[in-house]
């Protein structure tokens, strides 16, 4: 990329010195005076601090590796992150926090299993260095535009909850018989019965299988919990498994199978979805169980909606078990004992049709919500990309060029190194030489 006039490329280690954070227990991260930063931002408080000055914090390992946060002065950083010591007064720290966020450091992560971002990955990165005054103008422009996008996001916050309330009201009406009242007038002899799930499924629910995943494509793909957390099957959430699964194994999913999350947070335990992929394409994990409906008694779509009602969700919450620190769980017996209000097959078909027709409008609204949210994310990324190409604010020919800043930074760093070398060691201190 060609830089604007007055800008310079610079290695990141010329500007910052990175240090690993230090671990704390949960007990140590409560009721303290100073914020504790991990890979996902503020993780608690502590009575001591590691960073006296404002610092850039980068997630070091796991799902949060590459996340970038700006830590307030007098903060602690955990061992899930690394932090930058600010080496010079000639850079704007917030500018570089935004810059590193734009670099998507998670895509540079190493590790074949657990991804990580190390100092060795960060140090050699070449980053653009604008004049100091331009750094400040860019940050001001970014903040102004972000404020606008945040207002738009705030307006969107209520939409998912409203959509969910509408869905639940539709399901409640359906299982009261309100959506098919006209149909029953034409079929007056129809009666509903109260059954348990056990009476309408082919066999007991079975847990899945979760072997260690691999980071290369294989013939076997296993779903993750995220594949069904939304209540809809999302095939993109899967992992590759380097094992042979017999073609006749119960682990393979068939269209119409209902997947139930047997372990998750209390709000999501028992969440279900219908598998609508291809046979022989996916297996399911240990934290899910699978049921197959006896279609002479019940339609899979009808059972799925019955399991998604507020009443059934509450049933799973009340019956979930778990020890402190573990996610709540439901077992096969709890699932089999799930109460189901069961109309005749013909009315089940009518109920499913009425539910789907009623939900189409709200699904379109939710899709527009997701599209808008993604558009805002793209807009934010576009703003940052323009900023670091020098296209967000105008260049000022009167600004001191970055080449001068860079020379000062290098001179300053050299002087600091010399001063450190001249500083006498503590009494009794030994010098250990390494190869």
Give the start-end residues of each E strand in 149-234. 193-196, 206-207, 213-214, 220-223
Domain positions in the chain: 1-129+401-435, 135-179+347-397, 193-342
Decide if pLDDT at 433 tops 60.
no
Decide if pLDDT at 387 tops 60.
yes
Q: Tokens at residue 52, please?
A: 């006296």
Options 3.30.565.10, 3.40.50.1110, 3.90.220.20, 3.30.390.50; which CATH number does 193-342 get?
Answer: 3.90.220.20
Give 52-106 pLDDT, tens digit per residue.
Answer: 889 999 999 888 889 999 999 999 999 999 999 776 778 899 999 999 998 889 8
What is the predicted pLDDT for the residue at 336? 97
CA distances from 211 to 220, 224, 243, 327 (A): 11, 12, 8, 20
Give 163-203 pLDDT, tens digit per residue.
Answer: 999 999 999 999 999 999 998 888 888 889 999 999 999 99
In CATH, what number does 1-129+401-435 get? 3.90.220.20
Decide if pLDDT at 222 tops 60.
yes
What is the predicted pLDDT for the residue at 326? 75
Strand partners, 129: 8
Task: Judge contact between 208 and 251, C-beta under 8 A.
Answer: yes
Give 109-119 pLDDT, tens digit per residue.
Answer: 876 667 889 99
As a three-state string, the secondary structure of 361-388 is HHHHHHHHHHHHHHHHHHHHHHHHHHHC
What is the predicted pLDDT for the residue at 87? 67
What is the predicted pLDDT for the residue at 89? 79
> How many Cβ atoms from other residues are within 10 Å of residue 109's Cβ?
19
Give 234-292 pLDDT, tens digit per residue.
Answer: 999 999 999 999 999 999 999 999 999 999 999 899 999 999 999 889 999 999 999 99
């Amino acid at each position: 990329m060609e830089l604007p006039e007055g800008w310079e490329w610079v290695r990141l280690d010329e500007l910052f010195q990175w240090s690993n954070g230090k671990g704390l227990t949960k007990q140590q991260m409560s009721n303290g005076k100073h914020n504790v930063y991990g890979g996902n931002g503020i993780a608690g408080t502590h009575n001591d601090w590691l960073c006296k000055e404002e610092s850039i914090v980068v997630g070091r390992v796991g799902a949060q590796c590459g996340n970038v946060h700006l830590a307030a002065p007098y903060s602690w950083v955990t061992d899930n992150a690394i932090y930058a010591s600010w080496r010079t007064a000639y850079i704007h720290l917030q500018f570089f926090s935004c810059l590193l966020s734009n670099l998507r450091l998670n895509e540079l992560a190493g590790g074949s299993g657990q991804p990580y971002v190390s100092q060795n990955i960060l140090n050699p990165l070449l980053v653009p260095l604008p004049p100091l005054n331009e750094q400040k103008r860019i940050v001001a422009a970014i903040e102004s535009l972000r404020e606008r996008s945040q207002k738009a996001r705030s307006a969107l916050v209520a939409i998912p909850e409203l959509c969910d309330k509408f869905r639940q009201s539709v399901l409640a009406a359906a299982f009261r018989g309100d959506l098919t009242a006209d149909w029953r007038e034409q079929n007056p002899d129809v009666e509903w019965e109260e059954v348990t799930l056990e009476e309408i499924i082919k066999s007991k629910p079975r847990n899945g299988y979760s072997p260690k995943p691999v980071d290369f494509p294989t013939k076997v793909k296993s779903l993750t919990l995220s594949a069904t957390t939304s209540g809809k099957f999302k095939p993109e959430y899967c992992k590759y498994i380097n094992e042979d699964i017999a073609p006749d194994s119960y682990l393979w999913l068939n269209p119409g199978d209902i997947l139930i999350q047997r372990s998750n947070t209390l709000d999501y335990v028992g969440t279900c979805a219908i598998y609508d992929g291809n046979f022989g394409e996916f297996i399911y994990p240990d934290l899910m169980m699978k049921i197959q409906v006896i279609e002479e008694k019940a339609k899979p779509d009808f059972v799925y909606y019955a399991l998604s009602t507020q009443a059934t969700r509450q049933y799973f919450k009340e019956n979930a078990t778990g020890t402190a620190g573990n996610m709540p769980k439901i077992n096969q017996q709890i699932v089999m004992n799930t109460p189901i209000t069961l109309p005749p097959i013909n009315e089940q078909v009518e109920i499913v049709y009425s539910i789907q027709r009623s939900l189409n409008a709200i699904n379109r609204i939710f899709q527009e919500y997701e599209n808008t949210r993604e558009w805002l994310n793209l807009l934010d990324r576009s703003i940052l990309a323009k900023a670091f190409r020098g296209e967000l604010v105008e260049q000022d020919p009167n600004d001191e060029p970055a080449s001068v800043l860079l020379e000062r930074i290098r001179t300053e760093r050299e002087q600091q190194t010399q001063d450190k070398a001249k500083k006498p060691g503590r009494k009794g201190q030994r010098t250990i030489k390494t190869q």
